[in-house]
Structure 1
Amino acid sequence: MNLPDIVGITGAAGFVGANLVERLLDEGCKVIGIDDFSMSGPENLRGILGRPGFELLEYDCRDTARMRKDFAEVGGIMHLAACKIPRFGGALNTMQVNVGGSESAFEVALDLDVPVVFTSTSDVYGNAATPFREDGEIVLGPPTSRRWSYAASKYYDEHLALRMHEENGLQVSILRLFNAYGVRNHPSWWGGPLSVFLEDLLDGKEMEIHGDGQQVRSFTYVSDTVDGFVRALATPEAVGEVINIANEEPVKIIDLAQTVQTAMGIEGDLRAKIVSYESMGGNYQDVKIRVPSTEKAERILGHKAQVKLEEGLEKTIAWHRELRELKVAA
């Protein structure tokens, strides 16, 4: 692939960020990573820190002047730093971090005249009709529900990116990710339902299923997600485009819970309990069906998810167990 010699990454110690750092180093790139460690730490880069060609810097990517200086020699930027769905609070911080961080990353990319790959989310589709297509309508819920703060911030960022592309020449590609999971994911709700299901079962507890469990999702193993980033940065035709990066294997959350339990080798009835949205506060609302169209990713990037859920689960379970062993040893 035709990748820059040096790549700058915001959110480099996060879940997707750490896996992306590893992939780029394997591709022969040098990487300068930024992370404020608010939701992760250097330990998430275990096996990567110390590798030749990787530099990790600790600060908030909203420090535009510092990022401009540190990224002065990069040939491309991957902007991943963000806060996720405010399921249990923190909606204002989510919006401020996501909007401020993107403004900073876009300004730096424009000043340096380098391409930037922006991390958006399938959450921006809201409850639109499926399959979700990049040129389809957006159906978000009301601002009285803090749940939509994340989607609204990312949707604003998308508009900002594309207007800066049209009016200022920003070389930006926008990737809408669909439920990435796998090695190095955060072992909490920050990491999504799959992480929580695994941690609950490893703790000997019941899995918590929010809502009725009939929500439909498409889970994408992190190596496939990362491949989308790498291809986007290496593909000039991706500039100015919004592209879904996803696996087209839809599964109901209740069925996912059963699949996780089976993969863990736990027999018997489903070990799960329902947690109502009402108990979560903030007029919480959910997306009922989230199924992507991946035609555009295949056509422009030559990208198609390769890892099936069963294979990805096996790797993810092994990682969660290894993480616990390391904590015990420490």
Structure 2
Amino acid sequence: MKVLVTGGAGFIGSHIVDHLLEEGMEVVIVDNLTTGSESYLRPEASFYRLNIQDEGLMDVFREERPDAVIHQAGQSKVPASIEDPIWDAQTNILGTIRVLEGCRQYGVKKVVYASSAAVYGNPQYLPIDEEHPVQPLSPYGVSKYTPEHYLKAYDELYGIRYTVFRYANVYGVRQLPGGEAGVITILMNKLINGETFRIEGDGEQSRDFIYVEDIATANLSALKQGDGEILNIGTGKRTTLNELIGVLEECLGRKVETAYSPERPGDIKDSYFHNERVMRVLNWTPRIDLKTGLQRTYDYYRMKAEN
């Protein structure tokens, strides 16, 4: 199978590429390297430095004729979407439509799409399941949700199968601070630089933190199953910021310097997933516990700092 990965030089996409290659698949990467890195590219994969909005994307589809697309490319910063909603929509909505047009014109059979927990907005109940009302609070949430409708339409019109993943807070090796779920990376950088980590609020706000390797294996599973499904991808476990710091202190065997400041207006207090559907539909389960994931992530950033 030949798989085109948009955003394949980025945080999540590069891990997906690694797993695809380990499974013996042919891989094509499209990435404009805005947040991705050439250092994450694998020589076995074909690489096109390209924005998904560019007309040249059609040339990639014509040349490579992939069987499937794993669509990870996009704008992932909530504040940036508020500051420039037109750019956000051009990237996440129009860019996705261009990807789907490539799929339509050149016979792609399956698309796996990275959506987000941001589509749900403030939770009306917890844990959040796939039946939870969709009420995004930011342009980013809107721009991640809108392509879900296009995927359904392209399936009905042209028979292009799809699976939608709504990601919880993904963390791990290669993540850049400042993205949708960059709190752990920010914390790691503060630790390594000997700085105090500032917590906005009382630290009891909670999220569902899932390690990037588990996200990658879910994407691979969706290439052959889960057609027409919208699936929450998370651990199903609630972790407060204070608990997160406590686990990290266990890993390091030392205290993490923290300081508390007033709560930031508009922040969602609690968000974590009900993940039984994805476990059943894809026969998938998250395997990396929080302590293991934090240790791997810290070791990676410490090694980068030393080099």
TM-score where L is the length of structure 1: 0.85
> Would you say the 8 A contact 2:199–2:259 is kept in 1?
yes
Bigger shift: residues 148-157 or 163-172: 163-172
Find the counterpart in structure 1 of residue 155 from structure 2.
Answer: 165
> Would you say the 8 A contact 1:13–1:42 is kept in 2?
yes
1:169 offset after TM fit, Å?
2.6
1:59 aligns with 2:50: yes
TM-score where L is the length of structure 2: 0.91
Find the counterpart in structure 2 of residue 120 from structure 1.
Answer: 115
Bigger shift: residues 84-93 or 157-166: 84-93
1:265 aligns with 2:253: yes
> Would you say the 8 A contact 2:201–2:260 is kept in 1?
no
Find the counterpart in structure 2 of residue 175 from structure 1.
Answer: 165
1:231 aligns with 2:230: no
The alpha-carbon distance between structure 1 residues 134 and 178, as it changes in their structure 2 partners (threshold 3 A), is same
Q: Distance in 2 between matches of 1:253 and 1:87?
A: 21
Structure 1 segments of 4+ aligned residues over 6 angstroms from their partners? none
Find the counterpart in structure 1 of residue 269 from structure 2.
Answer: 288
What does 1:1-330 align with in structure 2 at a 5 Å threshold? Answer: 4=1, 6-43=2-39, 45=40, 48-50=41-43, 52=44, 54-63=45-54, 65-72=55-62, 73-87=65-79, 90-92=83-85, 93-114=87-108, 115-128=110-123, 129-141=125-137, 148-189=138-179, 192-235=182-225, 238-267=226-255, 270-274=257-261, 276-277=263-264, 285-326=266-307
Q: Distance in 1 between matches of 2:168 and 2:181?
A: 13
- Deviation readout 1:117-156 (Å, 9 max, x if unpaired): 1100111111132221112212333xxxxxx111111111
Q: Distance in 2 between matches of 1:298 and 1:78?
A: 19
1:68 offset after TM fit, Å?
2.5
Bigger shift: residues 107-116 or 74-83: 107-116
The letter of the residue matching 2:90 is: Q
- Deviation readout 1:40-60 (Å, 9 max, x if unpaired): 2212x1xx532x3x1111110
Q: Distance in 2 between matches of 1:40 and 1:212?
A: 34
- Deviation readout 1:227-249 (Å, 9 max, x if unpaired): 110000121xx221101111122
SS of the equivalent of 2:42 reads coil
Bigger shift: residues 34-43 or 219-228: 34-43
1:189 offset after TM fit, Å?
4.9
Unaligned runs of 5+ in 1: 142-147, 279-284
Q: Distance in 2 between matches of 1:254 and 1:35?
A: 36
The letter of the residue matching 2:19 is: R
Please report the RMSD computed on the Cα atoms of aligned residues, expressed in angstroms. 1.9
- Number of matched residues? 301
Q: Distance in 2 between matches of 1:33 and 1:166?
A: 27
The letter of the residue matching 1:95 is: A
> Would you say the 8 A contact 1:197–1:260 is kept in 2?
no
The alpha-carbon distance between structure 1 residues 216 and 276, as it changes in their structure 2 partners (threshold 3 A), is closer
The alpha-carbon distance between structure 1 residues 49 and 311, as it changes in their structure 2 partners (threshold 3 A), is same
SS of the equivalent of 1:117 reads strand
- Deviation readout 1:153-200 (Å, 9 max, x if unpaired): 111111222232233433221111111111111144565100001111
The letter of the residue matching 2:261 is: I
